[in-house]
Chain A
Amino acid sequence: MTAPVRTPPTPERQLAHLGVVSGSALGAAWGSRPTGPQLPVVAALEPLLPQGLRRGSTISVEGSVSLLLALLSAASADGAWCVLVDLPPISAEAARDHGVDLARLPLIPATGSNWVAVVGALLDAFDIVVARSPARLTDTELRRLTARTRQRGAVLVPFLTDGTRWPLADLRMSVEPGQWSGIGDGYGRLRRRQVTVTAAGRGQAVRPRSSELWLPNPQGSVDACPAEPVAPVLTIHPRHG
């Protein structure tokens, strides 16, 4: 049996015991964990975003407009103002079916060379700013927008299409190509799609979470998709005598 080695308490450790942290540690803590009240998300997305949409955070969405609309829906219905910048032309009907309030959803389809200025101005006033990330954005611009998001308590949602990245996102949400049901070889129609949505990020969300969702479901919104087969398998016994 060996006696535990006692390390002499360093001044830093004594201070840490008192709750004093260095400035750099404080900065890192701020960087990884934006604080503030949160905006709600729909029930189906709660396993992926247990904290809702935290104000001041950056959440990137990759590849699916439906996922984006599902993400906005509960906050928008709750009174939040959202704005979509440089997005592909979304369908008003799909947005409405997801539960987004169109009266609080202005679209800015083409910003051209003013992307950074426009997104910056919108972050000052809107609760959620969704913007398709341009192919080229300098590190300084990225950091400035992230800092502005945190400072103004907005939620920045960079929408990533093939090739673009947003390295400073607190949470990255992506969709794998899913399976449509209801459609066959010349019959039926598109009813719903089963997809796997993954959320990975920094800080508390380092471990990626995944969820099976119906996105869209037959009503055009989002539902959790049960992991087990929907219909139980019944064994039918032949009747004797």
Chain B
Amino acid sequence: MADPPRLAVLWCPDWPVVAARSSTGGGRGDGIAAAVMTANHVVACSPYAREFGVRRGMRRREAQARCPDLVVMARDEAAEARCFEPTIQAVEAVVAGVEVMRPGLIAVGAAGPSRFFGGEPALVEALRDAVQATVDDVEIGVADGTFAAEQAARRGIVVPAGSSAAFLAALPVATLDAFGDSPLVDVLQRLGIRTLGGFAALPAKDVSARFGPLGAWAHRQAGGRDDRPVVVREPPLECAVAVEFEPAVDRVDVIAFSARSVAEKFIADLAARALACACVELEVTTENGEQLVRRWRQTGVLTAPDVIDRVRWQVEGWLRQQNDSSSQLPSAGIVRLRIVPVEVVPTGTHQQALWGGEGESGARARRALARVQTMLGLGAVVQPLVAGGRSPVQRTELVAWGEERSLSRQPSDPWPGRLPSPAPSVVLAPPAPIQLLDATGRPVVVSERGAVTRPPTRLRIGGETPVSVTSWAGPWPADERWWDPASAARVARMQLVDVRGRAYLVAGEMSADHTPGWFLEGIYD
């Protein structure tokens, strides 16, 4: 097994917070308790918020209970990548071979540059000087392999060559699990294994038998051995894919959409060779012939959606810079995008579920909806929710897809007077005005006390010809919100069946004196 490469890692602490705050002009350490949330859980928080006990993975409610002044922001990964772009370019100006692991984390091969700068401490200083102008807080560490180097960066130290295993041995076993969702760490802790050293001391064969390939990989990480899955192979360059744009394009969504099919082909071609991609190079050519290149590395392997996300982030970063006019590149629209595999691993170590789990199909559906939203506008996709209320119109609430679902009326509350099921399958919001006539051809009237004077015999919807009513039931009066004149409603609801066998739910205002208006609320279709 090859020795792990010597790497310098540059880590910006709490990058999601820095990126989210940068849009409002704030920073990370300016004494504001801020937290970035996704799916109601804390992803990152500012140091000031941490002083109050806010931690990653905490629910929003708990975080706000600990720190009532907490500023809560939604996570925006595209913005994180975009804000990080100047830092990447600053590092690229100093050293070659920059690999972005995720926004806020960069790895650089340390062997060559440290000889150039005259030692690893000098390299660290050179990197720190380079990014000084673009980020406030940065930690730099050097060690063997990406995992050890990332841990060194989090502590801001240079681990001497060959002693990464000893450095890792003292760290808690939870270090293996950056996102707090791995069952492995939980099992290890319950087995009484508290440190990475303890885990690394277990026989590799037994770890592999008990925890499978992922466990074996974590075991190699913990031991400070090569943390890249098993063997790094020569990437098959014929698997590189390209997409051409004619005419040149300068819109991210167009590029990302076109990149989707080639990214899927890229991953599928590699999979056909029993390979998966751990590091990818994105290469963009502009109309003026400039070429921009960036490498993205993933701990684990890149899936097709991962590749598309990185294309979207990277292209947006470049194009945004063009608008800021701080840089000359790119000076024109993009005519070509190329995706090149840089590092591939056999698929045996990491494999997607054979049929794709629920998570994958959900993610695919969400991306398709995002695409539809770019075509039709954000409000074009809605999600139905069951809300509380007496009328079926109130009981269906539509919220824009992806928005926070908060209901003004809870369906679990008692709603005396609501109609029992079955519910009408079609509801009309707002209700459509109709005419409800009795045998004499006059409008049906519901008295103040909620009784119909003469039964309905004909129904007219919109401009259609009136149809005969064969059966009817009701009226059921509902005197709603009588305490609030603005929203008070005294209505009576009736169910009608017409000669064609169609059933309707209609509502009319209760009054003794004047002709009421009738509305169609639902159709039992």
Most-contacted residue by chain B among A69, A81, A92, A118 (CB, 10 A):
A92
Q: A124–B420 contact, CB under 8 A?
A: no
The contact string, 1 if C-beta is below 8 Å from chain A, for chain B 378-418, is 00111111110000100111100100000000000000000
B372 within 8 A of A: yes
Which residues of chain A in 74-105 are interfacial with respect to chain B, using CB atoms and an 8 Å cutoff?
79, 81, 83, 88-97, 102-105
Stretch in B1-9, B98-106, B426-434 with 4+ CB within 8 Å of A: B426-434
**A66 touching B473, Cβ below 8 Å:** no
Expressed in whole angstroms, the minimum distance between the Cβ of A122 and any Cβ of chain B is 6
Q: Which of A65, A89, A217 contacts B429 (CB 8 A)?
A: A89
Give every chain B residue within 8 A of A125 (Cβ-Cβ).
361, 364-365, 367-368
Name the distance in Å between B454's Cβ and chain A's nearest Cβ: 11
CA distance A104 to B280 in the complex (A): 33
How many whole Å from A180's CB to the nearest CB in chain B?
5
- Bound state CA distance, A30 and B365, in angstroms? 27
Question: Are the C-beta atoms of B500 and A187 separated by less than 8 Å?
Answer: no
CB atoms of B376 and A112 under 8 A apart: yes
Q: Mark A184-215, 1 if CB is under 8 A from B, else 0.
A: 11111111110000000000000000000000
- Is the CB–CB distance between A177 and B426 below 8 Å? no
Residues in chain A near residue B429, CB distance under 8 A: 89
Residues of chain A contacted by B427 (CB below 8 angstroms) = 89-91
Residue A1 is within 8 A (CB to CB) of chain B in the complex? no
Q: Is residue B524 contacting chain A, with contact meaning CB distance below 8 A?
A: yes
Quick check: is B258 within 8 A (CB to CB) of the other chain? no
B472 with A102: CB separation less than 8 A: no
Minimal Cβ-Cβ distance residue in B for A125: B368
Bound together, the chains give a CA A81 to CA B397 distance in angstroms of: 20
B384 close to A102 (CB less than 8 A): yes
Give the residues in chain B near A107, CB-CB below 8 Å: 381-384, 398
Task: Tell me the minimal C-beta distance from A76 to chain B in angstroms.
Answer: 12
Question: Chain B nearest CB: distance from A30 CB in Å?
Answer: 22
Residues A93 and B380 in contact in the complex (CB < 8 Å), given A106-B369, A189-B495, A220-B422: no
Write out, one digit per residue, whether chain B residues 359-379 have a CB within 8 A of any chain A CB (1) or not (0): 001101101110110011000
Kindly state the interface size class of chain B when it binds its partner.
Answer: 35 or more
Cβ–Cβ contact B372 & A190, under 8 A:
no
User: Separation in Å of the A46 CB from the closest CB of chain B?
Assistant: 21
Once the chains bind, are B426 and A219 in contact (CB under 8 Å)?
Answer: no
Most chain B beta-carbon contacts within 10 A, residue among A106, A112, A124: A106
Chain B CB within 8 A of A179 CB: yes
B245: shortest Cβ distance to chain A, in Å? 19
B471 touches A97 (CB 8 A): no
Taking CB atoms, residues of chain A closer than 8 Å to B420 are 189
A126 at the interface (CB under 8 A from B): yes
Q: Does A108 contact B (CB under 8 A)?
A: yes
Asked, given contacts A177-B501, A180-B497, A183-B472, whether A81 binds B376 with beta carbons under 8 Å apart, the answer is no
Please indicate the chain B residues that have their CB under 8 angstroms from the CB of A79 in the complex.
358, 361
**Min CB–CB distance A186 → chain B (angstroms):** 6
Q: Are B385 and A102 within 8 A (Cβ)?
A: yes
Q: Mark B505-523, 1 if CB is under 8 A from A, else 0.
A: 0000000000000000010
Q: Are B368 and A122 closer than 8 Å at their CB atoms?
A: yes
Contacts of B172 in A (CB 8 A): none
Q: Does A64 contact B (CB under 8 A)?
A: yes
B425 at the interface (CB under 8 A from A): yes
Q: How far apart sit A114 and B524, CA to CA, in the bound complex (Å)?
A: 30
- Is A50 close to B, CB under 8 A? no
- Tell me whether A94 and B397 are in contact (CB under 8 A): no
Decide yes or no whether B455 CB sits under 8 A from chain A. yes
Contact of A121 among B371, B383, B398, B426 (CB under 8 A): B371
A94 with B424, Cβ < 8 A, contacts A107-B384, A177-B500 known: yes
- B423 adjacent to chain A (CB < 8 Å): yes
A216 at the interface (CB under 8 A from B): yes
Do residues A122 and B372 form an inter-chain contact, with CB atoms below 8 A?
Answer: yes
A65 with B525: CB separation less than 8 A:
yes
Q: Mark B216-257, 1 if CB is under 8 A from A, else 0.
A: 000000000000000000000000000000000000000000
Residue numbers in B under 8 Å from A127 (CB-CB): 361
Contacts of B424 in A (CB 8 A): 91, 94
Other-chain residue from B375, B396, B422 in contact with A218 (beta carbon distance below 8 A): B422
A–B Cβ pairs within 8 angstroms, 29 of them: A66-B524, A79-B358, A79-B361, A81-B365, A88-B525, A90-B384, A90-B396, A91-B392, A91-B427, A92-B386, A93-B396, A93-B421, A96-B386, A102-B386, A105-B383, A107-B398, A108-B382, A118-B372, A118-B375, A121-B368, A125-B367, A127-B361, A177-B501, A180-B501, A183-B503, A184-B471, A189-B474, A190-B495, A219-B422
- A66-B524, A89-B428, A185-B471 given; 8 more Cβ-contact pairs under 8 Å: A90-B426, A90-B427, A114-B375, A125-B365, A180-B503, A184-B473, A185-B472, A186-B452
Across the A-B interface, give the 5 residue pairs with the lowest CB-CB distance, nearest first. A125-B368, A177-B501, A92-B384, A216-B422, A220-B422
- A contacts, CB < 8 Å to B: 63-66, 69, 79, 81, 83, 88-97, 102-112, 114, 117-118, 121-122, 124-127, 177-180, 183-193, 216-220
